[in-house]
């Protein structure tokens, strides 16, 4: 059968929520985002419906097509309606406990049948294994609709390499049509946005997020339903399909580097790199198992809570328990019963790539942005594009604006300030603010490079250390070592994420906090090797304040650590909290040697440090500055190095507004 997906817009921008951050531009694998007057608009003609922009938009400005009304319409009709649920459901609905509770809730919602897409995965895996054994040519897996869209629209020469097999969703639909008749209506429920337009054989595709909203709207809770099992046919190994390498495991194929002929790649950057190398014949006829997301357990249709490896662990645990309960004879009988169901699928190319402009046009645009030669190309990534050249091409194609270039904007601001008729004090303040903006630009360059260089290896370290930890026995000493590796790797990823937040000015995740208890807790991590006294004083009536706890804890621990390190011969670390009706003031003081006047202007500059080589990176205080500014706060420094003028030491004073800024509350 030929792919019969519908062509419709699946992702939209709520313009009143869109801010000038360009995160969606950076995360879109096909650059299907157009910036007009600072607003990011999704170009549905270019979109592959991967949903990356939905996941990364901290403002909630990117939304996907809702289909709950279409589901209600089916449930209220006279038709029999089947819900087919993706095998990633244990990662989403772990809060329900037993999976049979979820099935009972679906039946209460009005579905006549509830079936596992994992059975379709079993059938597809069997056919895919046959396909690989024939070894006619290298294939690209076709079960991820976003990957299929990417190949069909942007690598049209590789369409013939897409495995000619239906996805597990479509396979399960065809099984139910054979079993229940063509009149049955089918609703797919899963973590994917692209499924909403994958195939006309499925009547409606719903996300897990939308299903939760339907449960809530109809007051369907775990305690209000009777538990129920899935309707047959029941799945086997297809339950592990949604995790990276799930297809291989389902087929029983090893990914051994010396024997295997399948390469696995998941995630925005990885799948594109694999496709490019495949197209350039660099993979020696290897087959590709590709997922656009980092495993279906991280799909854009899942709830935002939850971590990848925790979700992956829930999938593997559910699959293990399922295989222990599986009646293999009955499963094999059902596999044989539906062996004649057509599993084939054909795909047609539909070119959507925009042609590359001439070198002369690219050079002209670059020159207009002050980039006359390669040494001017900062490639900082602040605009959302990996290189200045890519940004210039996007400008010519009508997808981007020159104002997206942060260094260019700063230079223009310099020129504007010089032309203004300001008083000497106003001019000094403006130039000081501009100097700090330049520091932010430097941090943007830094963070983009760090993210590119560190995120991938950190991901590998985290993944395999988690796998080894899960496979180790309780009580094994190595388990604690692996746990430490996992924790520290996660910490590194958070640090990289913090730098990106600093550069991109992402939204602060406000939480109401007892500021006194919070600040006291920050001192728990202080390593006090010099007999330093810690004094804490709070003069505040109303202790509640809205802050991002993770980010603000970074601020406090950075400042406290610096204070301790400044007092090598001992001293006193004094922390004070004061409060007014509108603001909270936190001061952190040490009795160290102080900061010299010549260094005071440099302390928030990235990479500047007075510590010995290997003792500091010069990134702590710039990060502190950025986080405080994102909270709409202020940070001041007072320091004395001259004993004749009084006690030496340094005090950092942080002023934070008590509540969320009005702009944040309006979102």
Nearest to 515 by CA among 581, 586, 590: 586
Task: Please give the pLDDT value at position 248.
Answer: 54
Helices (H) and strands (E) in the chain, counts: 23, 17
Among 119-133, 264-278, 486-500, which is the least confidently predicted range?
Answer: 486-500
Nearest to 307 by CA among 97, 493, 456: 493
CA distances from 32 to 18, 47, 51, 356, 400 (A): 16, 5, 11, 15, 11
Q: Place 37 in a pLDDT band, splitting at 50, 70 and 90.
A: confident
As a whole number, mean pLDDT of residues 127-155 equals 90
The 3-state DSSP class for residue 238 equals helix
> Average pLDDT in the 234-260 region?
61
The pLDDT of residue 600:
76
How does residue 321 score in pLDDT terms, banded at 50, 70 and 90? confident
Where are the chain's structural domains?
Answer: 11-337, 511-665
Least confident of 350-359, 378-387, 510-519: 378-387
Contact status, residue 544 vs residue 658, Cβ threshold 8 Å: yes
Closest alpha carbon to 619 in 415, 445, 383: 445
Q: Give the Å distances, CA to CA, from 529 to 561, 566, 569, 591.
A: 12, 12, 10, 16
- Predicted confidence (pLDDT) per residue in 194-211, tens digit: 999 999 999 999 999 999
Q: What is the mean pLDDT of residues 68-88?
A: 94
Q: Dump pLDDT digits (tens) for 579-599.
A: 988 899 999 999 998 888 877
pLDDT for 212 equals 95
- Looking at residue 244, its pLDDT comes to 54
Query: What average pLDDT does this structure show over 26-49?
Result: 89
Residues 178-186 have a mean pLDDT of 96
How many other C-beta atoms can be found within 10 angstroms of the C-beta atom of residue 185? 20
Could you tell me which of 624, 558, 609, 564 has the C-alpha nearest to residue 591? 564
Neighbour count for residue 203 (Cβ, 10 Å): 19
> How does DSSP assign 429-449, residue by residue?
HHHHHHHHHHHHHHHHHHHHH
Among 279, 324, 315, 280, residue whose Cα is nearest residue 93: 315
What pLDDT is attached to residue 466? Answer: 78
Task: Calculate mean pLDDT across residues 447-474.
Answer: 71
Residue labelled with tokens 């709070």: 538
Q: What is the pLDDT of residues 540-586, one digit of tens each?
A: 988 999 998 888 998 998 899 888 888 888 899 999 999 988 899 99
Asked if residue 506 lies in contact with residue 538, where contact means CB atoms within 8 angstroms, the answer is no
Residues 466-477, mean pLDDT to the nearest whole number: 79
Minimum mean pLDDT range among 161-175, 216-230, 302-316: 302-316
- DSSP letters of 254-275? ---TTT--EEEEESHHHHHHHH
- pLDDT level of residue 486 (50, 70, 90 thresholds): confident
Helix (H) or strand (E) holding 34: strand 33-36
Q: Are 112 and 84 in contact, with CB atoms under 8 Å apart?
A: no
- Per DSSP, the residues of 517-576 read HHHHHHGGG----S--EEEEEEE-S--EEEE-HHHHHHHHHHHHHHHHHT-TT--EEEEE
In this structure, what token pair is assigned to residue 367? 């020159």
Query: Do the beta carbons of residue 15 and residue 39 sit within 8 Å?
Result: yes
Question: What whole-number percentage of the chain has pLDDT above 90?
Answer: 38
- Residue pLDDT, tens place only, 599-643: 777 777 655 566 654 455 556 787 788 788 888 888 888 999 888
User: What band does 457 get if pLDDT is binned at 50, 70 and 90?
Assistant: confident
Mean pLDDT is highest, among 63-77, 294-308, 429-443, 515-529, for: 63-77
DSSP annotation of 608 reads -
User: What H or E segment, with its residue span, contains residue 407?
Assistant: helix 406-419
pLDDT for residue 173: 97
* pLDDT band (50, 70, 90) for residue 655: very high
If one compares 395 and 630, the residue with the highest pLDDT of the two is: 395
**Residue 446: predicted pLDDT:** 54
φ, ψ for residue 111 (rounded to 5)? Answer: -75, 135
Report whether pLDDT(38) > 90. no
Instruction: Choose the CATH number for 511-665 among 3.30.565.10, 3.40.50.150, 3.40.190.10, 2.40.50.1070.
Output: 3.30.565.10
pLDDT at 256: 42
Which pLDDT does position 196 carry in this prediction? 95
Q: 306: buried, middle or exposed (CB in 10 Å: 19+, 13-18, 0-12)?
A: middle
């Amino acid at each position: 059968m030929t792919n019969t997906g519908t062509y419709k817009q699946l992702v939209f921008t709520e313009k009143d929520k869109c801010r000038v951050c360009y995160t969606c531009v950076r995360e879109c694998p096909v650059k299907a985002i157009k910036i007009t007057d600072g607003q990011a608009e999704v170009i549905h003609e270019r979109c592959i419906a991967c949903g990356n922009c939905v996941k990364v938009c901290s403002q909630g400005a990117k939304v996907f097509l809702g289909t709950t009304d279409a589901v209600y319409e089916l449930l209220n009709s006279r038709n029999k309606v089947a819900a087919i649920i993706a095998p990633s459901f244990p990662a989403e609905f772990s809060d329900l406990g037993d999976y049979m509770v979820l099935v009972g809730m679906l039946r209460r919602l009005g579905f006549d049948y509830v079936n596992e897409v994992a059975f379709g995965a079993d059938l597809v895996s069997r056919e895919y294994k046959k396909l690989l054994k024939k070894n006619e040519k290298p294939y690209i897996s076709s079960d991820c609709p976003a990957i299929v869209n990417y190949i069909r629209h942007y690598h049209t020469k590789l369409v013939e390499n897409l495995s000619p097999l239906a996805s597990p969703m479509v396979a399960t639909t065809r099984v139910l049509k054979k079993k229940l008749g063509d009149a049955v209506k089918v609703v797919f429920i899963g973590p994917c946005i692209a499924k909403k337009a994958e195939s006309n054989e499925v009547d409606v595709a719903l996300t897990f997020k939308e299903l939760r909203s339907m449960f809530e709207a109809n007051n369907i809770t775990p305690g209000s339903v009777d538990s129920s099992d899935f309707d047959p046919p029941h799945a086997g190994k297809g339950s592990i399909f949604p995790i990276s390498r799930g297809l291989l495991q389902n087929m029983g194929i090893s990914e051994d580097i010396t024997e295997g002929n399948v390469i696995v790649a998941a995630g925005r950057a990885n799948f594109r790199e694999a496709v490019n190398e495949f197209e350039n014949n660099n993979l020696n006829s290897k087959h590709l198992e590709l997922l656009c997301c980092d495993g279906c357990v991280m799909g854009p249709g899942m709830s935002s809570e939850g971590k990848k490896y925790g979700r992956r662990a829930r999938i593997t645990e559910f699959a293990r328990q399922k295989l222990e309960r599986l009646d293999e004879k009955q499963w094999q009988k059902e596999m044989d019963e539906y062996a004649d169901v057509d599993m084939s699928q054909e795909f047609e190319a539909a070119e959507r790539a925009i042609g590359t402009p001439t070198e002369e046009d690219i050079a002209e645009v670059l020159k207009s942005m002050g980039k006359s030669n390669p040494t001017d190309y900062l490639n900082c990534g602040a605009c959302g594009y990996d290189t200045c050249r890519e940004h210039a091409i996007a400008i010519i194609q009508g997808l981007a604006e020159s104002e997206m270039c942060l260094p260019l904007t700063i230079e223009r601001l310099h020129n504007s300030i010089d032309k203004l008729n300001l008083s000497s004090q106003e001019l000094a303040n403006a130039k000081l603010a501009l100097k700090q903006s330049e520091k932010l630009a430097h941090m943007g360059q830094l963070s983009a490079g760090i993210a590119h260089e560190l995120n991938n290896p950190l991901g590998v370290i985290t993944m395999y250390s988690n796998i080894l930890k899960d496979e180790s026995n309780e009580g094994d000493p190595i388990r604690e070592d692996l746990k430490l590796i996992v924790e520290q790797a996660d910490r590194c990823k958070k640090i990289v994420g913090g730098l990106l937040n600093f550069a991109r000015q992402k939204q602060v995740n406000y939480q109401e906090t007892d500021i006194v208890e919070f600040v006291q807790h920050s001192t728990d991590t202080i390593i006090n090797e010099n007999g330093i006294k810690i004094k804490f004083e709070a003069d505040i009536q109303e202790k509640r304040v809205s802050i991002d706890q993770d980010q603000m804890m970074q601020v406090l621990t950075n400042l406290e650590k610096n204070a301790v390190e400044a007092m090598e011969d001992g001293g006193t670390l004094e922390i004070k909290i004061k409060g007014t009706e509108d603001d909270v003031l936190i001061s952190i003081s040490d009795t160290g040697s102080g900061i010299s006047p010549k260094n005071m202007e440099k302390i928030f500059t990235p990479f500047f440090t007075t510590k010995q080589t290997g003792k500091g990176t010069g990134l702590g205080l710039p990060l502190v500055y950025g986080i405080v500014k994102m909270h709409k706060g202020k940070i001041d420094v007072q320091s004395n190095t001259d004993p004749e003028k009084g006690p030496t030491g340094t005090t950092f004073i942080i002023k934070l507004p008590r509540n969320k800024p009005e702009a944040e509350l309006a979102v």
